[in-house]
Amino acid sequence: MLERLQKILSMAGISSRREAETLITSGRVSINGLVTTTLGSKADPSVDIISVDDKPITVRKERIYILLNKPAGYVTTLKDPDGRPIVTDLIKDITERLFPVGRLDFNTDGLLLLTNDGEWANRLAHPSHQVPKEYHVKVRGEVTPETIAKLSNGVKLDDGWTAPAKVEIVRTIGKNSWISIVIHEGRYRQVRRMCETVGLLVARLIRTRYGDLQLGEIKPGTYRHLTQEEIRSLIEGKPDKQQKIKTQEKDLHKKKNRGK
């Protein structure tokens, strides 16, 4: 059966569909020995020989879904030109090629999903899916109610305003505070930049929740397989209700201001 080349690469666990487009346009993919750079190209994985960097790929039926507690000091790319450790180095007993669903910064800890199911990863990463993600942030200095209000209502970054977030103080220890920030966007270093914008210095950042999945008691550097129910719930889950209401209120407020 003919399938788009991007879909075949994601089904084979090579990459997400978006990353597959880059592989194709850069001339790294071939069908039956002929390099193709056309994104609309199709092939039949049961008949055609599809290769990436001259290595034939196999579309496997087994799908793997991992929840990893990423320690700081690892990158969430599959290769790093600087030779830093990559998150897949932590997956010791799985021979399938896995890739991360989204990214966490080099210095950020916490919940990271890995899979070889490109379709599943692509659906989770799509902006319309709006999966709520919770971060616990250790910051230096006093966190005032005004600061919490600014983060909650949205702050202006260099790439535009952030959507409203759910923000609260978890605990205060001496001159340091831990705050919880729940967002549904996925901008580059978003939580760190939000904190910096309101004058908070981030000492540590941990992602503790992704959708309904909690980091729980999983130790840094270890992982577990997701259950079938967890796999389905991430795709079928609805956006955080409170987050959605706040987003609608913010959009309405912007429209009123434009009308003045």
- Which positions are catalytic? 105
Using the structure block, give the residue that is written with the tokens 């916490």.
110
Question: 42 is written with which tokens?
Answer: 């199709």
Using the structure block, give the residue that is written with the tokens 């616990």.
136
* CB contact at 8 A, 137 and 202: yes
* Distance separating alpha carbons of residues 208 and 26, to the nearest angstrom: 36
* Distance separating alpha carbons of residues 15 and 119, to the nearest angstrom: 10
Task: Determine phi and psi for 105, rounding to 5 degrees.
Answer: -60, 160
* CB contact at 8 A, 183 and 133: yes
Strand-strand pairing, 109-115 and 201-210: parallel
Amino acid symbol at 138: K
Alpha-carbon separation of residue 101 from 44, 76, 125 (angstroms): 26, 9, 7
Calculate Rg over the CA atoms of the chain.
21
Question: 83 is written with which tokens?
Answer: 């030779």
* Distance separating alpha carbons of residues 255 and 260, to the nearest angstrom: 9
